[in-house]
Amino acid sequence: MESQQLHVVFVPFPTPGHMIPMIDTARLFAKHGVNVTIINTHANASTFQKSIDTDFNSGYSIKTQLIHFPSSQVGLPEGVENVKDGTNSEILGKIVQGILMLQDQIEILLQDLQPDCIITDMMYAWTVESAAKLNIPRIHFYSSSIFSNCASYLVRKYRPHDDLVSDTHKFTIPCLPHTIEMTPLMLADWIRTKNSATGSFGAIYESEKRSYGTLYNSFHELESDYEKLYKTTIGIKSWSMGPVSAWVNKDDEKIANRGDIGKEGELLNWLNSKPNESVLYVSFGSLTRLSHEQIVEIAYGLENSSHNFIWVVREKDKDDDGEGFLQGFEERMKESNKGYIIWNWAPQLLILDHHATGGIVTHCGWNSILESLSVGLPMIAWPMFAEQFYNEKLLVNVLKIGVSVGSKVNKFWSSVGEDELVRREEIVKAVEILMGRGEESKEMRMRARKLGDAAKRTIEKGGHSYNNLLQFIDELKSLKIARELEKSMLDN
């Protein structure tokens, strides 16, 4: 019996936006009868191990296989193993170096484990070769929207931005079912510049093509046009089986397990004291670093708007915080009871799910988008880097559940120029549109609620995502049987 159970190994990439949805997905596989192994380093595993233990103790076949992060070899203190721990470029560089060094350990483990399939993060392009050696399928885990993957593919293929006279002029992305306009400044550096090297991204796109298929944390009702486009244009098999966070947490008594438990009581009291849908949740995800000038604009923008807010400020931002500006701001907000600052890491799911929360300012990280729309919240889109500008277009132009704040430049850890800052007036304007009582807000809210309902249905028995997961597991089982048959024929 044991040997007949499908064994799938998951290899997540150590950054919250990639790791969290993959762990949720792995847990869903285990809850549907698959024998699951997750490969990860100690400190990263410690952030989710509790849920794995709970699942295991409930009878599901799931475990974590630990590997060693080469801290001393790259000159990092123990426990600094996640991209989000990169508080400056030097540390970030060392973390990335350490992650690259994990390849040998992972390859040896895969040989030992002899799984039936590996589901690996898009960043681990080399796992396509590992799967080929084992003669098993490799599934490419793409941790953002199908829309963004399609848009990025079409921009790379047709380069509609190449002949513009200026980086601020608009181009239209060809072959999309919606009219999407962007400026070259909204594209990542490496694609913006003519003839620039694709670097590690080239290997990622190549590995996607050579994979058995791509797995998306999305759902049919959200991106059906783009599911179709992905299949017809890029020609790769794909499965949408999200939103995985809402699905895996559906039965959990406590969804707050990703936050700062110590302060949770205080935060909950604050939220409980606020009227329904009156609080704006402001978060720029796990990796963004803001300049002091931008922090000041955000602070005044929030203070000058007429709505309550929770703002998650990262420790990295504090480093750039000239003369304790944020400290003074926090004290003022405490006095007026208008704003609540969370330092570093927020229990995001708990906040989004609270009846007092009425909207979110998001950097357009895909997980935050999915988590917000799963509970029917509209958004202010403030993209910063990577594919986030594509996600903004999806929110604002396709789904029409978001207001753009007017972010202009795609930059990781930006020190954006004076004229590229998002000003306090623009922030106030977007907040008033989203949180106000105008028609635009009502319509966005209604559409977001509908998507929230669809998100709930798609993960129920008979829903699209539910069926996709089950059918995908069946397909992997058929592949396993075919492989074993082939092997026994060769052996005889």
Residues that bind ligand UDP (CB under 6 A): 16-17, 20, 258, 283, 285-287, 312, 345-346, 348, 365-368, 371
- Show the 3-state SS of 254-299: CCCCCCCHHHHHHHHHHHHCCCCCCEEEEECCCCCCCCHHHHHHHH
Report the C-alpha gap between 114 and 100 in whole angstroms: 22
Q: How far is the CB of 366 from ligand UDP (least distance, A)?
A: 5
Q: How far is the CB of 483 from ligand UDP (least distance, A)?
A: 35
Please name which of 385, 387, 391, 457 lies closest in space to residue 223, comparing C-alpha atoms. 391
State which residue, 305 or 391, has the beta carbon closest to ligand UDP: 391
Find the residue with minimal CB distance to ligand UDP.
Answer: 17
Q: How far is the CB of 245 from ligand UDP (least distance, A)?
A: 6
Q: How far is the CB of 62 from ligand UDP (least distance, A)?
A: 20
The H or E element spanning position 402 is strand 402-404
User: Is 18 annotated in the active site?
Assistant: yes
In this structure, which long-range contacts are made by residues 455-463, counting pairs with CB atoms below 8 Å and at least 24 apart in sequence? 455/219, 455/221, 455/222, 455/243, 455/246, 455/370, 455/373, 455/374, 456/246, 456/374, 457/221, 458/219, 458/220, 458/221, 459/219, 459/242, 459/243, 459/246, 459/247, 459/250
State which residue, 16 or 98, has the beta carbon closest to ligand UDP: 16
Q: How far is the CB of 437 from ligand UDP (least distance, A)?
A: 28
User: Is 121 annotated in the active site?
Assistant: yes
Catalytic residue among 7, 18, 140, 464: 18
> Do the Cβ atoms of 448 and 441 come closer than 8 Å?
no
Report the C-alpha gap between 304 and 424 in whole angstroms: 8
Query: Which three-class secondary structure state does DSSP give residue 376?
Result: coil
Catalytic residue among 24, 55, 85, 121: 121
State which residue, 152 or 283, has the beta carbon closest to ligand UDP: 283
State which residue, 184 or 347, has the beta carbon closest to ligand UDP: 347
State which residue, 94 or 258, has the beta carbon closest to ligand UDP: 258
DSSP code of 439? H
- Residues serving a catalytic function are 18, 121
